[in-house]
Amino acid sequence: MADLDGVDSSSACTATTIACLQSNNISFVGRYYSRTTQIPGKKLSAAEAKLLSAANLSIVAVYEDGPTSYAYFSATRGVADANGALQQAAAVGQPAGSGIYFTVDYDAASDEIAGNITEYFSAIAETIGDTYRVGVYGSGDVCTAMTAGGFATLAWLAQSTGWGGYSDFTQWAIKQGPEKAVCGLNSDTDVARGDFGSFAVQSSSAEDIQHAVVHPA
């Protein structure tokens, strides 16, 4: 199966954006869940999910609240983030069995990975259970540890080539490329292979799609 091109973005997609993505052969879009973000448009809405799905663009869910230092991580935070992700996935209509990625957005040291980062992902895995597949986004070292430990079944390798384990980790489902504005989105490019946990949502009626087009996220 050929690799698929995609983007991840903190910008909401509109009908115009989606038409542009299709013309650029983009197959999937990574979008966010969050409990704390103040960035307009960062969080995926149900309307946007329906709009993407109607256009046959698959969605990758990423949960992120600002995990850019070791102080962020703990088992308590893992439970809170997992519950937040579950609530937002239900609101969007994300189907069971697809993936939700949780991020470690800095170059974590080995003792940090073995410490609170492992506790964080262990708590996420226990809280999510079998409802969704847990994914990890981060350095090669983080991805290796979380998948080897059984805390994540999907791995998204961060674009930072200088982070630990980047060259050694080859079992990624998604590999992030350079930051690049695509179709006006604040975005990074990505490539995915195999089953990478993407999903589409069902529209209950034609009116739902029309609402998404007229009132984009």
**Domain 4-214 is of which CATH architecture?**
Alpha-Beta Barrel (3.20)
The sign of the CA dihedral 14, 66, 33, 35 is negative
Calpha distance 179→161 (Å, rounded): 13
| Residue 48 token pair | 């946007």
Q: Where are the domains positioned within the chain? A: 4-214
pLDDT (0 to 100) of residue 204: 56
Which residue reads 């980062």 in tokens?
A: 117
* Cα–Cα distance measured from residue 6 to residue 50, given in angstroms and rounded to the nearest whole number: 18
What global pTM score does this model have? 0.92
* pLDDT of 130: 95
The three-state secondary structure class of 212 is helix
| The pLDDT value given to residue 203 | 72
Among the listed residues 50, 52, 41, 176, the one whose alpha carbon sits nearest the alpha carbon of residue 105: 176
* pLDDT for residue 2: 84
111: Cβ–Cβ under 8 A, 6 or more apart, which residues?
Answer: none
Q: Along the chain (217 residues), what's the average pLDDT of each consecutive run of 10 residues?
A: 92 96 97 90 96 97 96 98 98 97 98 98 98 98 98 98 97 95 94 97 59 44
Confidence (pLDDT) at 78: 98
